Structure 1
Amino acid sequence: MMRGIPVISRRQALISMAAATSLAACNQSSGRDLLSADSHPEEYPTVQAVKEMGRLLNERSGGRLRIKMYAGGQLGSERDTLEITSFGGLDLNRVNLAPLNSIEPLTTIPALPFLFSSTSHMRTALDGPAGDRILDSLAPHDLIGLCFYDSGERSFYNTRKPILSPDDMAGMKIRVPNSDLYVAMIKALGADATPMSLGEVYQALVQGVIDGAENNWPSFESGRHFEAAPFYSLTRHIIAPEVLVMSASRWRKLSDSDKTLVQQSARDSVPFMRKLWDERVAESREKIIAAGVSVNEVADLGAFQQKMRPVWDRFVRTDTQKEIVAEIEALRPDA
């Protein structure tokens, strides 16, 4: 470090850049773009969904409200952009639930292992009152929850063998996102959890640093993980969504009518996203099977579910959490 000159961290630099960008946009006389971030690439369904939201907003506001998208992690990791959004440097942000878990306990609910029996069950539950309660819980944290987007059905893949029971996972090193909930899930199944960024997974599989990971069809395919891990076992253990949030400071500056426009346009972008997502899943699945990956159903999911009780007990503690979980479970088709 040079004497007298402070070292600026990457996060501080990103925050300063986003704040400056936002200030510049505020000073435009031709109107105010809503600045949005996404770590996914330009063609990804969530990015396209926010662009669709922007198209609807532009149309419905007569050109007053527009969205400018920074995709592909241009403004940093989701933890970086979430912090930027919470203090107002960004207006909109599509994030995974994991970075929200540490600030709001209700956001852990949709990520509970085996909470949802299917994608249809997840969509029904989160489109209703239970989903609204989770979105509303973000307001005290300077974030406005606008809507949920799909993030797919997550299953296990590895370099060794098909997984048919929890015993098959004993001793395996499994990559997980940086989330206490995911770590607890893997440990409960008898494997070793290895938190790691998604971008590191391919090399870690190739080099044998990890034996496997868990994710949805599109991530398994687009990250080329199937080239290194030829066994994909359909546990569908987590069907957690992603969430679109807005900066509360920007939200408070909107008129009531514009708040309605933003909220409705966000909700109307959800079916658009889901259509793109379902198409993407089918395409990825086809590519993976054509590549010769061994894909297996798991007949006895009950053996996995039984091991999740301590995980649920650890992360579902408050009465409100328990109420929402009960609401969601009551919507199961077989309930």
Structure 2
Amino acid sequence: MQTKTIKSGALLSASTITASMMLFAAPVQAEDWRGWNIHPPGYPNTVALEAFAEAIEEDTEGRVTARVYNNAVLGDQPDAIEQTRSGALNFANFNMGPMGPIVKETNVLSLPFIFDDVDHMHRVMDGEIGERFADALAEQNLIALSWFDSGARSLYNTEKPIKTPADVEGLKIRVMNNDLYVDMIESLGGNATPMAYGEVYQSLTTGVLDGAENNYPSFESSNHYEVVGYYSLTEHLIIPECLCIAKSSWEALSEEDQEIIEAAAIEASEMQRQLWVESSEESKQKVLDAGVEINEVEDKAEFQELMQPVYDDFIAENPELESLIEDIRSAS
């Protein structure tokens, strides 16, 4: 829950405070906000979130103060989602992948190849369709103020370059814990293995896994490139992230401060996206220098065609979301 600090030179009894409040107008007090972040210091998202915290404190003239807690020290993402929904946390940067169990509509964003490229994702999320996702999040007490980038996720493994779906056959690939990701890998003939992120490095070294999938910065910062020789640009998942505010925290703000904080969130998103591009290039060069072989996938259509059963099953289970899928795919 949010806590408010009583600015007083002496300790007062509850009855004295109550009497004083009846006689005098209460002074304006700062809201002390706590923000959740899964990433380490220096990561693009972390830098942008910390800039957001500094901006809202300065621009609200101290009416809202904020601190970002990095490295998921306040809990993993599912816990943090619940804490933010309840108002125990005030803001957070959430990936939409694990959001599906809470906000059904966000599962659409986890469909493989739903976006043509990262620029397509930005256009969709910054426009009317992004507002639809924000409305769905708001129904679950999460106010999405802006959308962060998380790049394109590609396959990497210890065995060989992946150039066609046949190259995935039989490989044990780690995925995030989502049935869509399991279905995606199995549709390519691989063996999908949901696993905690922190267990992947050891599993790659011991052969429990043959590979995994992620973006350049995560591939590099996790040190997976140290034990994996091949990174193949399938770019099968492009999943946006939100800068979300707890609905209770948002509604407690004045209209003026809401405008200030929304503007700061949009600036943070612009910063994060630029830092993401720079970080991706730096990470790519680092893994190349370490000897990782990076290959383009010349014909992604082969991969995309094999995803049709994934889409068919998803639409059969969620027919009300078919139009949303069509709108995303047709968005220019």
* Same fold, judged at TM 0.5 (above): yes
Cα displacement string for residues 99-135 of structure 1 (whole angstroms, at most 9, x for unaligned residues): 2101112111222211111111111111111111111
CA distance in 2 between counterparts of 1:48 and 1:33 reads 20
Greater shift after overlay, 250-259 or 221-230?
Answer: 250-259
2:19 corresponds to: none
1:249 corresponds to: 248
CA contact (8 A) 1:145 1:243 kept: yes
2:324 corresponds to: 324
CA contact (8 A) 1:232 1:295 kept: yes
Cα displacement string for residues 228-281 of structure 1 (whole angstroms, at most 9, x for unaligned residues): 110111000111111221111222211222222222221121111111111100
2:167 corresponds to: 168
1:98-137 alignment runs, 5 A limit? 98-137=97-136
State the Cα distance separating 1:89 from its structure 2 match: 0.6
CA distance in 2 between counterparts of 1:41 and 1:28 reads 33
**Aligned-partner SS, 1:90:** coil
Greater shift after overlay, 252-261 or 190-199?
Answer: 252-261
CA contact (8 A) 1:159 1:211 kept: yes
1:38 corresponds to: 37
Contiguous gaps of at least 5 residues in structure 1:
1-18
Contiguous gaps of at least 5 residues in structure 2:
8-28
State the Cα distance separating 1:63 from its structure 2 match: 2.3
CA distance in 1 between counterparts of 2:53 and 2:6 reads 18
State the Cα distance separating 1:215 from its structure 2 match: 0.3
**Aligned-partner SS, 1:85:** helix
Letter matched to residue 322 of structure 1: E
Letter matched to residue 208 of structure 1: G
CA distance in 1 between counterparts of 2:247 and 2:98 reads 17
State the Cα distance separating 1:291 from its structure 2 match: 1.2
CA distance in 2 between counterparts of 1:246 and 1:102 reads 19
Cα displacement string for residues 60-81 of structure 1 (whole angstroms, at most 9, x for unaligned residues): 2122222211111111111111
CA contact (8 A) 1:142 1:249 kept: yes
Greater shift after overlay, 42-51 or 316-325?
Answer: 316-325
Q: Percent identity?
A: 41
Letter matched to residue 331 of structure 2: L
1:225 corresponds to: 224
1:184 corresponds to: 183
CA distance in 2 between counterparts of 1:258 and 1:309 reads 46
2:279 corresponds to: 280
2:14 corresponds to: none
Cα 1:28–1:242 shift into 2, 3 Å? farther
**Aligned-partner SS, 1:246:** strand
Cα 1:28–1:223 shift into 2, 3 Å? farther
CA contact (8 A) 1:108 1:315 kept: no
CA distance in 2 between counterparts of 1:240 and 1:112 reads 9
Letter matched to residue 327 of structure 1: D
1:232-243 alignment runs, 5 A limit? 232-243=231-242
CA contact (8 A) 2:97 2:109 kept: no
User: If you compute each CA radius of gyration, which structure gives the higher value, 1 or 2?
Assistant: 2
Count of residues in correspondence between the two structures: 310
CA distance in 2 between counterparts of 1:222 and 1:109 reads 28
Cα displacement string for residues 189-211 of structure 1 (whole angstroms, at most 9, x for unaligned residues): 11111111111111110011110
CA distance in 1 between counterparts of 2:119 and 2:50 reads 24
CA distance in 1 between counterparts of 2:313 and 2:101 reads 14
Q: What RMSD over aligned residues (CA atoms) do the two structures have, in Å?
A: 1.6
CA contact (8 A) 1:135 1:147 kept: no
- In the superposition, the TM-score normalised over structure 1's length comes to 0.88
Cα displacement string for residues 159-216 of structure 1 (whole angstroms, at most 9, x for unaligned residues): 1011111111111110011112111111111111111111111111001111000000
Letter matched to residue 121 of structure 2: M
State the Cα distance separating 1:309 from its structure 2 match: 1.1
CA distance in 2 between counterparts of 1:28 and 1:104 reads 37
CA distance in 2 between counterparts of 1:315 and 1:262 reads 36
CA distance in 2 between counterparts of 1:131 and 1:39 reads 23
CA distance in 2 between counterparts of 1:42 and 1:51 reads 9
